[in-house]
Amino acid sequence: MGDWQQITGGVTAARGYRAAGITAGLKASGLPDLALILSDVDAIAAGVFTTSHVKAACVDYCRQILQAKHSARAILCNAGQANAATGHQGVKDAQETAELLAKALNIDPNLILLASTGVIGQRIKMDVLRSGIPQVVAALSETGSDAAAGAIITTDLVKKSIALETTIHDASGGLRQRPVRIGGIAKGSGMIHPNMATMLSFVTCDAAVAPTLWQQMLTRAADRSFNSITVDGDTSTNDSLIALANGQSRTPAITEMGAEAEKLEAMLTEVCQYLARAIARDGEGATCLIEVQVTGADDELAARQIAKTIVGSSLVKSAIFGCDPNWGRIAAAAGRAGVPFEQENLQVKLGDFLLLENGQPLPFDKAAASAYLKQAKMGAYLQADTVLISVSVGNGHGTGKAWGCDLSYDYVKINAEYTT
């Protein structure tokens, strides 16, 4: 645990934010489908988006806004239609959405960021959205984070939300400190794979941070969280991580790296990692979370690459689902990660079971190791429902983590029937 404490409130825990989530009628299910997050003042804005060459209109829209200026007031997210691969009309729909919301909020359209999730190839139901925007604006509340978290999900089984608080020295000097808060919500369950995975996440912060520094912090946090999870190897068209920092904590502006910046970035990373783990655990059809920890690599990037390859292996994921402690699949995945290491330095552990050391297989209690997997899947062993795989590849200083889930029969069923 870092130098912070967990608090309630999600994206409205930070000062100067309101949020809302309503049922506008965009989803055929009749479930909530339109979310809004609003800062009381202009906030510094940063974003990390999908690397896919097939991108949703909202992704291109946000990139253009953030390239032109590094500030925003509002984030609007619709669920039900992805508005990806929808051509010129999809672009016009995104632009109209921003203009409609700007008019309802009486702010500049260039202070609005957009996100969409749902079926690729489907435009937003604009007639429904036009009537929904005034409703979601009217519903804005300082306690609206939970409603917003519920309105952005699609195949998710649970809402995903977190808020943390730390303290930063104020401008008067001395020992006086003021609280700073970061909150976040996220959605994601399928089509999850770096870099970015099929997910949406919105983060609010009440610190004052220089735009370039805030973007750098968010990019690093994304690499250590959302870009380190995988469910099924498919990268989405709509992935978006957007973070606002509005300065309403009244703490001194953080303009360069130092002790206070490091503290804030560590808390931002923890918020992102918490949400990333929640997405991985909620993978479609998943029965457990898998965490892979890699040590001994030349650097952090190499270690994360090995970890992501292992946790993304369909064979490893299937073995975990079947409670089969097949360490050979783990070793094979590490070997094909594209990171050179000496085989004789490879070590593999499953939970507390040492399976391979110095590149040599070791005798182990297969029944007990299988029982570890079964108990973890039931949430009854050590780290609740987390299966821990530890891999060492040498004596380097590089360490990294990645998260995923097992691959069950239900994953195929869910995705076979997704649009039918």
The predicted pLDDT at position 417 comes to 73
Same domain, residue pair 272 and 300: no
Q: Which two tokens stand for residue 118?
A: 């749902």
The predicted pLDDT at position 172 comes to 56
Same domain, residue pair 223 and 301: no
Digit-coded pLDDT (tens) for 133-152: 999 999 999 999 999 999 99
SS3 at position 257: coil
The predicted pLDDT at position 2 comes to 76
What gap in Å lies between CA 354 and CA 30, rounded to an integer?
50
Q: Which of these three, 256, 281, 306, is where a domain ends?
A: 281
pTM of this structure: 0.90
Q: Compute the C-alpha angle 332/333/336, nearest 5°.
A: 90
Same domain, residue pair 246 and 312: no
Residue 235 has pLDDT above 70, yes or no: no
Residue 199 has pLDDT above 90, yes or no: no
Residue 173 one-letter amino acid? G
Digit-coded pLDDT (tens) for 275-316: 999 988 887 778 899 999 999 999 999 999 999 999 999 999
Same domain, residue pair 82 and 194: yes
From the CB of residue 31, how many other CB atoms can be counted at a distance below 10 Å?
14
Residue 367 domain boundaries: 289-416
Same domain, residue pair 181 and 314: no
Q: State the total domains in the chain.
A: 2
CATH assignment at residue 12: 3.60.70.12
What gap in Å lies between CA 409 and CA 317, rounded to an integer?
12
> Which listed residue (86, 154, 198, 309) is catalytic?
198
Reported as a pLDDT band with limits 50, 70 and 90, residue 230 is: confident
Q: Are 394 and 358 in contact (CB under 8 A)?
A: no
198 is catalytic: yes
Same domain, residue pair 221 and 272: yes
Same domain, residue pair 215 and 293: no
Same domain, residue pair 246 and 115: yes
Reported as a pLDDT band with limits 50, 70 and 90, residue 383 is: very low
233 φ, ψ (degrees, to nearest 5)? 85, 5
CATH assignment at residue 310: 3.10.20.340
What average pLDDT does the structure give for the chain?
Answer: 91
Reported as a pLDDT band with limits 50, 70 and 90, residue 416 is: confident
Output the CA–CA distances (angstroms, integers) from residue 265 to 180, 349, 390, in the order listed: 12, 31, 26
Reported as a pLDDT band with limits 50, 70 and 90, residue 391 is: very high
Tell me the β-bridge partners of 112.
74
SS3 at position 128: helix
